[in-house]
Chain A
Amino acid sequence: MSIVQLFEVAIACDVVLCCRVAPLQKAGIVDLIKKRTSDMTLAIGDGANDVSMIQMADVGIGISGQEGRQAVMASDFAMGQFRFLVPLLLVHGHWNYQRMSYMILYNFYRNATFVFVLFWYVLYTGYTLSTAINEWSSVLYSVVYTSAPTVIVAILDKDLSRRTLLKYPQLYGAGQREESYNLRLFIFIMVDSVWQSVVVFFIPYLAYKNSAIDSASLGDLWTLSVVILVNIHLAMDVIRWTWITHAVIWGSIVATWICVIIIDSIPTLPGFWAIYEVMGTALFWALLLAVIVVGMIPHFAAKAIREHFMPNDIQIAREMEKSQDSRDANQPEVQMSTSTRA
């Protein structure tokens, strides 16, 4: 039987058992699937004879146990028992996929919105690349103003609880079907980013068009608008609000405000005192409110439509969890066993 025939038979089956297989042949089986399909391959093993298979696969898992540590040292993930594979994939694999996908899309959005605001301004400076937002704020944008929320949400946010994910293994299919990171989502988020940058730039522009506004004041308005908008966008997408999430999101907005005030309190910078002057005008606050609301309306409306009229499995499971939680709160719990913790 040739290798191609083996492949075609194997693909047609649900499970294939290979026995009396030499280490190199184990690697060969993994390679067979890897080379001929675009699927992700996972190999799990505990002995030295599994090392080549573990290294060949996309995800290699080593079991530390009876047969020593060679498998562990060659692997991407190491566990104590074979049965831990289930929570690794269904729980941690799922969470990891959701978090990574969202974080990548959000990072693109966050930076694109900021840069698009700078881009629109260039059209009104005679194409000479004057920055709408002063250089200090531009540097601090990625470092102080918007970095902590991104990191915390990427680490801590969970879309579903461990119990739900183990109860409904079909939820793992969301990752296999690429539901959280695909071209369509990327285009949506980029369109949202362009819209929000248009709102952030043009609403103040149209309001201040024939006025005595100076570039430092208007730049401060743009800085604050972008940071608040980007953080509120994140706040709308966070699924699980812990105290840390609250602290970083609202704390970042406060930190931004403080930094803008500090930057505008340095006399040797040209924008000195601009923030105090502009904060004393009612127009500034009215524009800030308008920008935040108008920027968020499409995202909010899209979220409402998508979650109610086109719910995916994860959304349904979230709602089921919520009603389960309220039922659990009202009825006393029977017993706690370690496997069902959280």
Chain B
Amino acid sequence: MNSGDAAGSSSGGSGDAGAPRRASRKPKYSKFTQQELPACKPILTPKWVISVFLLVGVIFVPIGVASLLASNKVVEIVDRYDDACVPSNVTNKLAYIQNSTISKTCRRTLKVPKDMKQPIFVYYQLNNFYQNHRRYVKSRNDQQLRDASKANETTLCDPEKTRDGMAIVPCGLIAWSTFNDTYTFQHNTNNLSIDKTDISWKSDRDHKFGSDVFPKNFQKGPLIGGKTLNESIPLSEQEDLIVWMRTAALPTFRKLYGRIYVDLKENDTITVTLDNNYNTYSFDGKKSLVLSTSTWLGGKNDFLGLAYLTVGGLCFFLAFAFTLLYLIKPRKLGDNNYLSWNRNSAGH
């Protein structure tokens, strides 16, 4: 007797018990194992190709136009001040910025180019600052930030882990280097109040930064990296710190400083009194102050509108080109004259 072949050895359903039939070794038939599942087999026909390109064009061009319109509506004032706020007689900028006895107050004048409707967002922008540096990004301890009982958890926070044997709260390079320039505004001649609440994510305030965690032992070392924190305010209310600790993705970034709830008119003058504390001079970084309105698209973003328009236009062009090609060189689908052994009479 045969002892089975590679096809399997389950006995098939031989129903009748009467005649002495050899048990069938055929495996049970199923559509899946015999690869006969019902299927659709679409073929890319000229009709489909042209329709797809036209559809993409029809969708993308209006979105591109809407995006460009939204971006044009945004009014943005960008003022770089790190070079201008250092007195001209200073040659060693690094020593200047590190000298805590010199007053760093600087006045800047901004002109509003177009009407700006509230809320106006105030950002500080840093260039050439790599918050996405691997060592930097890892230098934090999220457990310590949210849980007061875990105050001594400082793993990965090197070199800002402990000071004088005691743990630093919040530890790590990110917290240590918090941005500490401050800005106050005057509109024409009136004081302009800036709302610094709710500038961070609510989820961060509620779940990542504990309301019972207080800064301890912070910025007590010889090198001050940035902002000093008020030790009586819990971390969940230190919004500048929270905003800063949401590390930016790219080396040029903005972070929200506050909001202004006053409309500004064209040609208004905004006077900014700022404290130029933050050291970007040792690595050629740039600091700028940004005031911006926003639309459904966010801030100023010409790129999106242009990209959509380009792609939409390209797709229309491709639809047109393909139509031409299909007219010049038509081919009947499934015509067996095109099979290679029919085409060359010599065959393969």
Contact = CB atoms under 8 A, between A and B. Distances in A.
A170 B343 CA distance: 13
A316 B6 contact: no
A45 B251 CA distance: 68
Given A125-B133, A322-B43, 12 more contacts: A170-B348, A203-B307, A212-B253, A242-B38, A244-B37, A267-B142, A270-B140, A283-B301, A294-B311, A307-B44, A312-B340, A321-B334
Interface string B201-218: 101100110000000000
Interface in A74-98: 77-80
A241 B130 contact: no
B135 A282 contact: no
Interface residues of A, number: 81
Nearest to B70: A282
Contact of A322 (B41, B248, B255): B41
Interface of A: 64-65, 69, 72, 77-80, 124-126, 128-130, 156, 158, 168, 170, 173, 203, 205-219, 239-245, 267-270, 272-273, 276-277, 281-283, 286-287, 290, 293-294, 297, 300-301, 303-305, 307-309, 311-313, 316-323, 325, 341-342
A80 B208 contact: no
28 contacts: A130-B132, A158-B35, A207-B303, A207-B304, A209-B303, A211-B301, A241-B39, A241-B40, A269-B142, A272-B203, A273-B207, A276-B203, A281-B298, A283-B297, A286-B63, A286-B297, A290-B307, A300-B49, A304-B44, A307-B44, A308-B326, A308-B331, A309-B331, A313-B340, A317-B339, A321-B41, A342-B35, A342-B36
Interface in B152-210: 201, 203-204, 207-208
Interface residues of B, number: 81
B346 interface: no
A210 B254 contact: yes
Contacts of B307: 203, 206-207, 290, 294
Contacts of A244: 32, 37
Interface string B324-348: 0110010101111011110000001
A225 to B, nearest CB: 14
Contacts of B256: 212
Contacts of A307: 43-44
Contacts of B236: none
A313 B339 contact: yes
A316 B318 CA distance: 24
B304 A293 contact: no
Contacts, number: 209
B171 to A, nearest CB: 14
Contact of B132 (A215, A282, A293, A297): A215
B134 A128 contact: yes
B96 interface: no
B324 to A, nearest CB: 12
A79 B248 contact: no
A240 B248 contact: no
Interface in B124-144: 125, 130-135, 137, 140, 142-143
Contact of B311 (A69, A130, A290, A321): A290
A325 B46 CA distance: 20
Contacts of A206: 303, 307
A321 B339 CA distance: 13
A270 B46 CA distance: 49
Task: Please provide the 8 A-B residue pairs with the shortest distance between their CB atoms, ordered closest to farther.
Answer: A319-B334, A273-B203, A215-B249, A218-B249, A128-B134, A78-B6, A242-B37, A320-B334
A129 B142 contact: no
Interface in B106-125: 123, 125
B252 A210 contact: yes
A55 B269 CA distance: 90
A40 B18 CA distance: 49
Interface string B1-41: 01111110000000000000000000000001011111111
A129 B135 CA distance: 9
Nearest to A173: B348
B304 to A, nearest CB: 5
B67 interface: yes
B314 interface: yes
Contacts of B298: 211, 281-283
Given A65-B2, A170-B348, A287-B304, A267 B311 contact: no
Contact of B249 (A173, A208, A276, A320): A208
B52 A300 contact: yes
Given A283-B297, A309-B325, A322-B334, A156 B35 contact: yes
A239 B44 CA distance: 10
